[in-house]
Amino acid sequence: MTSKWTRALSVLLVIALCLSMAVTAGAAGSVYTDVPDTSWYAGAVKFCTEAGLFEGVEEGVFAPFLELNRSMAVTLLWRMEGSPIPRKTSLFTDNQDLEKWFYQPVAWAEEEHVVNGYPDGSFGVRSLMTRQELASLLYQYMQYKGDVAPTVAPTTAPTARPTATPAPTATPAPTATPAPTATPAPTATPTPAPTATPAPTATPAPTATPAPTATPTPAPEPISIKITVGTRTFDAKIENNATGQAFVKTLPLTLTMKDQGRNCKVNNLSVALPVDAKQLPSIQAGDMLIYRNNGLLLYYKDSSAYYAYTKLGSISDTAGLADALGGGDVRVTFSAG
């Protein structure tokens, strides 16, 4: 099973770091509706929230199973340092993609050599934090704190190109000896040129026959399916591509879907689908998305897009969708239309 670095696991890491700095964690008692007081991470979430290290994704919602990206991880360390104002602007090539609440943390971490970018000069604003990247981030943070001695100098983006070494001054060439003055040739008697024969008139080239206009290939029609929740049934259109066709082959399919972020239902498929993930400008109510290659998300409210998804399809008419899906776990059946 592939391990995922979620917000719930991250708070435990922060607790461990804070305890090493003689900070005491508080008792349980969650302010979030999706963090039960009986959960194993409730006390850690409460402590991190009260310490100002974590905030909810929206009021009353912590989203404990939302995976951390690189921007979020750096923001944790920045808040642990008291949210210092960076002295310089970020040099990462994708800094324009940073949301306003991530810009200062990333600029600070870059300035203090707490984080390195990718070889192409980008930071990886929405890239998920891998275990090796997390180890590197924590190691460099502890170097910054002075708790470990650096063994390898951190790689940083150059601030300017190196100045080229000037070329050596060329030795001037010796002055050439002037050539002797030539004796003028005798004046030649002009001979009249013969009258030129006019060239024959060129035969005009035949007019080219225009190439036939190519007929555009029509886009394949979307695949119709039905989505049933309790007594409500919704019509949906699935993309007629490799992803959609592979999903339709799994139908009929019934899943118990969990709520995430109070805007969508999620569960994993038992098969991996072919995907073509893209960063979406936004997510609309009724959108069906695939995360990685088997995570199925069904949105019942509009949302921002923090990660890259593959668009699976959408529900045609979302009237009543939020009422049918909202709340806790819900059984959803997908069937051929």
Q: Considering only CA atoms, which of 79, 21, 29 is closest in space to residue 55?
A: 79
Angstrom distances, CA of residue 306 to CA of 70, 118, 299: 12, 19, 14
Helix or strand or coil: residue 255? strand
Please give the residue that has the higher pLDDT: either 251 or 203.
251
**Is it the case that residue 191 has pLDDT exceeding 60?**
no
Q: How confident is the model at residue 254 (pLDDT cuts 50, 70, 90)?
A: very high
Highest mean pLDDT among 101-110, 142-151, 224-233: 224-233
Q: What is the predicted pLDDT for the residue at 189?
A: 54
What dihedral do alpha carbons 52, 54, 55, 57 form, nearest 10°? 170
Name the pLDDT band for 10 (thresholds 50, 70, 90). Answer: low
| DSSP count for the chain of H helices, then E strands | 7, 9
Query: Which strand (E) or helix (H) includes residue 136?
Result: helix 131-145
For the cut 70, the answer to whether the pLDDT of residue 17 exceeds it is no
The pLDDT score that the predictor gives to residue 168 is 42
Instruction: Report pLDDT for 322.
Output: 94
Collapsing DSSP states into helix, strand and coil, what is residue 132? helix
Structure confidence by residue, pLDDT tens digits, 71-93: 888 898 989 888 899 888 888 88
Is 80 exceeded by the pLDDT of residue 216?
A: no
Query: Phi and psi at residue 262, in whole multiples of 5°?
Result: 55, 30
Residue ranges of domains in the chain, CATH in brackets? 7-145 (no CATH), 223-336 (2.40.100.20)
Q: How many CB atoms lie within 10 A of CB 260?
A: 19
pLDDT of amino acid 90 = 86
Q: What is the pLDDT of residue 330?
A: 94
- In the structure encoding, which two tokens stand for residue 272, read together? 């991996």
Does the pLDDT of residue 125 top 60, yes or no?
yes
Residue 224 is predicted with a pLDDT of 97
Q: Calculate the average pLDDT of the chain.
A: 77
pLDDT tens-digit map of 159-168: 333 343 444 4
> CA 221 to CA 223: how far, in whole Å?
7
Lowest average pLDDT, out of 163-167, 259-263, 329-333, goes to: 163-167
pLDDT higher than threshold 90 for residue 186: no
Assign 226 to helix, strand or coil. strand
Residue 187 confidence (pLDDT) above 70: no
In this prediction, residue 150 has a pLDDT band, given cuts at 50, 70 and 90, of low
Q: What is the DSSP letter of 283?
A: B
Q: 3-state DSSP: the chain helix, strand, coil percent, rounded to 5? A: 20, 20, 60
pLDDT of residue 300: 94
CA–centroid distance for 64 within its chain? 20
- Which range among 145-149, 281-285, 325-329 shows the weakest confidence by mean pLDDT? 145-149
> If you average pLDDT over each of 50-59, 70-79, 130-139, 203-212, which comes out highest?
70-79
Tens of pLDDT, residue by residue over 267-322, are 999 999 999 988 888 899 999 999 888 899 999 999 887 668 899 999 999 999 99
What is the DSSP pairing of strand 295-299 with strand 264-268? antiparallel
